[in-house]
Amino acid sequence: MTRDQTESPHTRRGPLGALVDRFGHLVHELSKFATVGGFAFLVDLALFNYLASVRHLPPVLAKTISTVIAATVAFLGNRFWTWRHRQRSHPAREYALFFFFNGVGLGIAIACLAISRYGLGAVWPAVFQTPLADNIASFIVGTGLGTLFRFWSYRRFVFVEAGTPPVPGTSHDRESGA
């Protein structure tokens, strides 16, 4: 027998090949999620700045409105593109859970904005009570933290894979008592 016939496919492809085999589907989903999120982010950014700068709404109210509208865009993109391969459950259930978890993500972004503007801004208003600081706190820090939470929660609770058996030895196995 030759060496190639006795080695597993993972050995021949190396550790990187084994990682791709194990996590490739996750990377594919994450890239689609990021594309949808990027588009929704642009909607959020443009609408927030329009409402805060042109319509002169308070920044926290402008952020709330822009995020709700961007979330609707994200729901449609994720349901019909990112996780279209997953079995659909009741649409009202998906929509309600999506917006619940998006509300938590919104809370994360608003908390970052409020801490920056009203907490740090009380100490150093010339820096933290500016449109640039509002955008950094809301869109870089808040959206970054909120996005990590959203990906996990949508994948775990909203767009679930029905009927997929758990992989032995994973945390899901331990949670279910298997």
The answer to whether residue 167 is domain-embedded is no
Tokens of 38: 């990027």
The answer to whether residue 14 is domain-embedded is no
- Quote the Cα angle for 71-72-75, to 5°: 85
Inter-residue contact 62 to 84 (CB < 8 Å): no
Chain centroid, CA 113 distance in Å: 18
**Predicted local confidence at residue 40, as pLDDT:** 92
Query: Which residues form the domain of 112?
Result: 22-161
- Tell me the pLDDT of the chain (178 aa) as tens digits: 555 555 554 455 677 777 666 767 788 888 999 999 899 989 999 999 999 999 999 998 998 899 889 888 998 899 888 888 777 777 788 888 998 998 898 899 999 999 999 999 999 999 999 999 999 998 899 989 998 899 899 888 888 776 554 445 545 444 445 4
Q: How far is residue 135's CA from residue 103's CA, in Å, rounded to a whole number?
A: 19
Instruction: Give the total number of structural domains in the chain.
Output: 1
The answer to whether residue 13 is domain-embedded is no
**Predicted local confidence at residue 173, as pLDDT:** 46
**Predicted local confidence at residue 49, as pLDDT:** 94
The answer to whether residue 55 is domain-embedded is yes
The answer to whether residue 166 is domain-embedded is no
**Predicted local confidence at residue 41, as pLDDT:** 86
The answer to whether residue 169 is domain-embedded is no
Which pTM value belongs to this model? 0.60
**Predicted local confidence at residue 20, as pLDDT:** 66
The answer to whether residue 170 is domain-embedded is no
The answer to whether residue 16 is domain-embedded is no
